[in-house]
Structure 1
């Protein structure tokens, strides 16, 4: 039987036809539109053309990586451009760890095939090495770049700097930056500044930015946006204002991400009015803009304004995300706004955000600070995959609520589940031990920080230990811990020690420590107040008066603490002195939030309640009388142990009745 005739060879397509199909590929509206074009190109013999195959690969890669891989494998000739195109598709925005690992494997294939990389290859491969957690391959790629004389290319050197900074190898990044020489263009400076910011080396970033400006290198938008988060202290506000001047001079003040970065910078540097002015001057505000303002108010202690800003976001239909709710819930915790916190919790549930671990952690903190420890535990128990942050938040909640046994039991459960504690966890555990008087157990946990977990104790740990030993009267041991600290003690550590001296009447020891503090130039008002109170309690009135005169001469004023009580109608601040002044300079009194006229009436009402207590027998009111004035349940005599509780309930009822009249 004769064999079938060989198929006739396809005619060689003309250059015009190839260019036509390349244009069709480039202008294809979607991946589906590419399929018939590719099929027709195969029939016409165009698919083997290197230029067409490269165009098809570039167009198909974003839509279907597997299809692009087949196009790549079928290509008769693969140059560096085709390899780079497929590498970019695998590593694009590091969409996943899996794809980044594929990009790394593809780079190995490229080198094995004998294809030399070019200056476009390394800005793709090096970030993929970071995403794939392949630092050794990243260093091998660096060696390849040196071999092919590409390490000093501005884009390759920038990618190398970014890779080393993301791996925490800042010294290697600095070496690459120094070796780049003439290639130190703005892109390299930007990578180095961003690297310092990522590693929280803000001082180095500020210094490098100054050198950059001094050398006449003009920053671009990315440089400034990368640099602004480094300015987080009030003393760096002049630098931030200089950067703001650059923004205006270079015409970037209409760039929304840039203005958002400026708002955040002014907030962190303490210039809230300037941040507010920039926000209101924006022509287009994004969700990031609103989130930044809410976060600024929360961080500066103005929880009420943060909550009001969030309500305005909802009114103007801006929307919200997880970041918004984190700031708002923190503001509720700071302000004691339990009702608002519950509302935000329900809002998170309705939008499916209550499963986010970060939201759950801040909910635990919010409920605990608002006194609802049971709700905090309920949120904690419903959290799947609890991290060390979740455990620490719940342990801290129990420690602050005077339930040390629960805190320590939870710490044991945490270790039993294999979760490694962090510094914040140990702070909460030491607080719990201090509140329960478990000094020896506290010492055991304190020593385990360095022995079992190879961590260095922080100032909070030392302060807890000094407070714990001071309460127990073991002041010699407390002083020994202070003298053995590897870091300089702060006011919390010394304040805890002086508090222990005051508790046990150790005036001479406190005087010795206070002389050291005052001679070292410390002008913290806490130390002066502690010494004055100690002298007063010991009957040393002349010394107490001397301290108070010194405070007056140095213009030292004690910041009065206050408690916040939020009801459904008002927000009340309770302080010991009605003429007290807060850090912000506003007068704080017990008052209905929207009425200055009635400011002192609740104090008078408390006097009335106390007088009522003295005249009334101890009766159990059963159910508290309702605000509408309806009679309570039948009254029966109560035990002496519940007398204080019943009196507190009567006072609370009187206050509520008085508020409802207005």
Structure 2
């Protein structure tokens, strides 16, 4: 039936499908999936595209499944189709979780968003400042429906405080995040495991070992010391503070270890110049058939160690090339990354969407504006890869870091796809670097139109005001931020009604 019903869609896309029909299983930004998704206008179209992806064997691809879940959340009559897609995925990242949570927050039933929020944490992934607004909204709806009032009020307060902490910490404002935790406890709201996970990166970055130990003790006291996400954060914390013995002990004590836990331990070794131990653990991962990922190489193993591993690979695929390019880029070796990219092309390996993300990241970290422009154009002209939102965000960040703020703003205005919070956020961060308050205010206004209640933009704008000594504006924004996240429903009484 689907083969028959897909014909109208294929006819509509005849100019596209007349080209050789090569699916790219790693990115929906590549032809022709991107055109299918962009041309999808109904639920029936979506089901046909899903069938094509399944037929091609790419139904387990995370990017494609996330796109399918996103479209299903808006096109299907209920959230059931999106949920079935989600449940069949063996691997899920935070973005996929957030996509489904947002779907339930937008379309209901809202209690499912709250259940997913808890399940996301139990899976070992930490909710981020994109997760919290959808959960807060769902809690508010549940309150309006008078379902489980006391439980929901408690959760709403906890989520709101945690969102404030995460908003500061995830944007690098560690010292600002710590007083919020103090205020949270003073208000009578007890932190939960998500709160503890959210504050530990601040302790790690500030090397506040004693405070981190107190948080660890709090986790033991409330019985969450075996929580996967907390263990990940604690291993990273102790590693950053130079306490390898404790980090290693926590790692060995975990009966079940997910990929994030392995990466955290390898990262602890790498940060403490224990390169040999990092490589041994990496080899142990392979011995135990633990599938490593891009982050294992890029974010954990130093560029030097990654090169040694890379040179020993008998077959260098586009994934391995992209990994080593990303490793060099993330560790500040932009020239090496670009040299490897040239070698990759010379040896006949065709770059994909992820490769160009790594290349643009290299240009971004090395402030190579012209080089970045060249590769961005080459991606489109030479490889027929439609830029994804992540490529646009890289370009905006590259231009912004170099001080080309007006050019970055015009670049966003001419984007063929709708810029998301990540793109505008990159420009807002650049405004903070260069102290451009007026453009920052304009960017925050644009962010407010995206129907997002994330505190990230408010946190950044508040600090931009502070750095410009505009204290009244800074105080006004902080008060508004607290009211948005912490106020209870006006006019609500929580006295039981028969």
Q: TM-score, normalised by structure 2?
A: 0.49
Q: Quick check: which one's helix share is greater? A: 2
- Higher-Rg member (1/2): 1
